[in-house]
Amino acid sequence: MVRHNNQLPDNLPQLQNLIKRDPASYREEFLQQHCYYQSLVKLFCLHPDKFDKNLDELVMFLAQVAHCYPDALEKYPQELLDLLQSHYAVLDSAMRMTFCRALILLRNKNLLQPMDLLSQFFQLLRCRDKVLRKFLENHIVTDIKNMNAKNKSVRVNTALQNFMFSMLKDSNAKAAKMSVDIMVELYRKNVWNDAKTVNVISTACFSKFAKVVTAALKFFLGSDEPDKNSDDSDSDNEISAKEVIMANKVNKKTRKRDKQLKKVKQIVQKKKKKKNAVPVYNFSALHLIHDPQGLAEKLFQQLERSNDRFEVKLLLMEVVSRLVGLHQLLLLNYYPFLQRFLQPHQREVTKILQCLAQSAHELVPPDVLAPLLKTLVNNFVTERNSSDVMAVGLNAVRELCGRCPLAMDEDLLRDLTQYKKYRERSVMMAAQSLIHLFRVSMPDMLRKKDRGRPTEARAELKQKKYGEVDAKSYVPGAEVLLDKNKKPEDSVAVDSAESEDDDGEWVDMDHSSAEGEEDANQPEESAANDEVEKAAAGTSEGDGTATEKETKAALASTLRILSDEDFRKIDAAQLSKEVTSARKAKKRPATEEKNSNGELVCLQDIENIYKKRRHDKEARLETVKRGQQERIKYSGYQDRRQNPFASKTNREKRKTKNFMMIRHKARGKVKRSFKDKQIALRNHLLKLKKMK
């Protein structure tokens, strides 16, 4: 059959469409194009640095129809890999991108093994082509994510992780940096979130390239802010939005200005998305470290020998501090190292104070932290410094003592509490927060007037010594379950819960049976409670060390299984102890006492300065609009005299007169000359002299 007007050899998209529909009918045309491709490849190998449009089109055409003729194109993927392997450094950027796209297409059709393709792509990361590197990074992450979407292949993931581990030691900085970025992105996408990935990334902290070290440290700190000095930053190309919008309004409209306006709008949208995005904190990765003590010691040694920028040193400090604080490690040489940076004029001093507080915990000997605490107080909490510096110093002392209260000396604490009446509000509030901390941890170290009203919770508080662990064998506060007096609020809550059906509608119920069962069970419960109370009383009499409440709590915790309702009652009772006086059964409003024993130290807690900040523009406009709503609308001059028929003054009458009638009186408002001012001043001084 002869085809008239056959344009298929020159129209590859049309031939591609027909081959996908009926591969057998168009095999001859395909073989013709395949032979043409082989001849073009031989010519291309002679000059691989030049762009060949025909070869570029044929490569993508063969990749599109490779699944239709697997026997003829069996060696085609390997041919492309060999071309990239041999000439990737000198290839034209467009040709190199085409080869990569064709290989990705073959990989998506399962005509190429993932390990073969990814190993080749990692070699291409050495190319000085930023667009290609970003393209390959996105593909590697997407490909590995798709492979682990349905079920995770342990064998393939292990092989890829081992290969990336070897790439971290690559002599090319860009390839090593890209491998770290890929593993970090896979961890954030919950694809490779196991301990092996975290420990492989931890080895990147000791790389010889600063960018690789910085990327690994930022991963453990949970911050992924773009580096301003990196190649990927486009801050130089950013244009002010107001300038471009004003230029479009005023100047002549051109294509260049339209492009600039579109670009500015895209940048503004990006910034809004980043601002509204929820921050991701990866400090949980620090819990997966196999040897946190060894890693902290190696990082500290690197920190001492480091000649890098101060930003890199600060990142090392933060990672070491988090390791020490989260795992409660002992790294005693680290604290004298931090002591050198405790100066108000030190760069990023608040972050260094955060590192100091983060690295403190109960297992650190108080003798090690006491010199740092004194240095901190001497350098910050002095009246020769500004109020902000003093407030930051007191906040840092509070955060440090919240994790290791034994480091505080009694005399030093009493000196710091004197700032509760300081003239600056920021210092006063910082001192008050320090007092509140020791009220709930070690109230005996405060003066009696600073301890506040004693509560039941503080009466039960036991001051621990260094290394002492207060492990409870019972649920604290469980003694409330043995109380016979039931609150009426509880019965109302139970009745309301029982009376409401699943659809949220109220129904009539017969409570006679429920009341009968309750009356029947009540003697048994009261008898059991009586027995428990007798046992508690006997135990408390026999044992002089245990209090009656502790004995009751221990019995209530062990004699039965506690329900969710029981735990809610215990929590409510524990909260009431914070506000109930130990002497009288009176309640007072609870003061906000902050617990500083969290996993991480928040930088805002140290920089928290109690000061009335200047409102931004939106806040001021909101207050103005709120005031306008309450204001009475102006409806002209209002005569507010008590007697509306009373006469007016000459000044009031002058407002309604014609200007020509009072023109002679308006001459006095003309600006006086310098000579007239001199005469008036002389007359005034003479008048004052005569009055004396």
DSSP symbol at 13: H
- Dist CA 581 CA 163 (whole Å): 65
Residue type, 175: A
Q: Please count the CA atoms within 13 angstroms of the CA of 596 that sit on its side-chain side.
A: 32
List of residues 6+ apart from 623 with CB closer than 8 A:
615
CA nearest to 232, candidates 92, 137, 134: 134
Q: Is 562 left (phi over 0), alpha (psi -120 to 50) or beta?
A: beta
| C-alpha span between 472 and 109 (Å, rounded) | 61
Q: What string of H, E and C letters represents the secondary structure of 198-236?
A: HHHHHHHHHCCCHHHHHHHHHHHHCCCCCCCCCCCCCHH
173 HSE (CA, 13 A, CB side): 10
Instruction: Phi first, then psi: give them for residue 465, nearest 5 degrees.
Output: -90, 175
Q: Are 329 and 319 in contact (CB under 8 A)?
A: no
Tell me which amino acid residue 668 is.
G
Cα Rg of the chain (Å, integer): 39
pLDDT in the model for residue 521: 44
* Residues whose CB falls within 8 Å of the CB of residue 18, separated by 6 or more in sequence, listed in order: 8, 25, 26
Round to the nearest angstrom and report the end-to-end CA distance of the chain.
Answer: 132
Contacts of 491 (CB under 8 A, 6+ apart): none
Q: What pLDDT does 336 receive?
A: 92
Instruction: Give CA–CA dist 692/688, Å, rounded.
Output: 7
Quote the CA–CA distance of 112 and 78 in Å, as a whole number: 9
Tokens of 692: 């004396």
* Nearest partner of 596 among 361, 369, 329, judged by Cα: 361
Q: From the centroid of its chain, how far is CA 391?
A: 24
Angle at 653 between CA 652 and CA 658, to 5 degrees: 125
Where are the extended beta strands (E) located within 478-538?
none
Tokens, residue 587 = 């309640």
Report how far residue 64's alpha carbon sits from residue 59's, in angstroms, rounded to the nearest whole number.
Answer: 9
- What are the residues facing 455 on neighbouring strands? 581
Cβ density class 192-202: b for 16+ within 10 Å, e for less: beeeebbbbbb
Contact 556, 482 (CB under 8 A): yes
Give the DSSP per-residue string, 627-680: HHHHSPPP-S-----S-TTSPPPHHHHHTTS-GGGSHHHHGGGSPPPHHHHHHH
Q: Which of 213, 230, 229 is nearest to 221 (CA)?
A: 213
Phi, psi of 264 (to 5 degrees): -65, -40
Q: Locate tokens 């001859």: which residue?
A: 28
Alpha-carbon span 45 to 49, nearest angstrom: 9
pTM of the model: 0.65
Spatial neighbors of 438 by CB under 8 A, at least 6 apart, are 401, 405, 408, 413, 445, 446
Residue positions counted in the chain: 692
Q: Any idea what the Cα angle at residue 361 is, between residues 358 and 367, rounded to 5°? A: 110
Mention every residue, 6+ apart, whose C-beta is less than 8 A from residue 8.
Answer: 14, 15, 18, 26, 29
| CA dist., res. 237 & res. 228, Å (int) | 13
Cα gap 275→314, rounded to integer Å? 25
| Domains in the chain, CATH or no CATH each | 291-453 (1.25.10.10), 478-498+522-587 (no CATH)
What is the reported pLDDT for 471? 73
Q: Name the DSSP class of 445.
A: G
Dump strand ranges (E) for 319-403: none
- Residue 660's CB: how many other CB atoms inside 10 A? 7
CB atoms under 10 Å from CB of 550, counted, come to 21
Residue in 584, 571, 548 with CA at minimum distance from that of residue 454:
584
Residues 581/455, Cβ–Cβ less than 8 Å: yes
Half-sphere exposure of 134 (CA within 13 A, CB side): 5
pLDDT value for 645: 84
Ranges of the chain with pLDDT below 50? 1-5, 224-238, 278-282, 485-525, 527-528, 532, 536, 539-546, 584-596
In this structure, the dihedral spanned by the alpha carbons of residues 347, 348, 351 and 352, taken in order and rounded to 10 degrees, is 0
Contact status, residue 404 vs residue 366, Cβ threshold 8 Å = yes
* pLDDT on residue 515: 43
Give the model's pLDDT for residue 379: 92
| pLDDT at residue 439 in the model | 84
Beta bridge partners of 500: 506
Residue 253 CB-half CA count within 13 A? 4
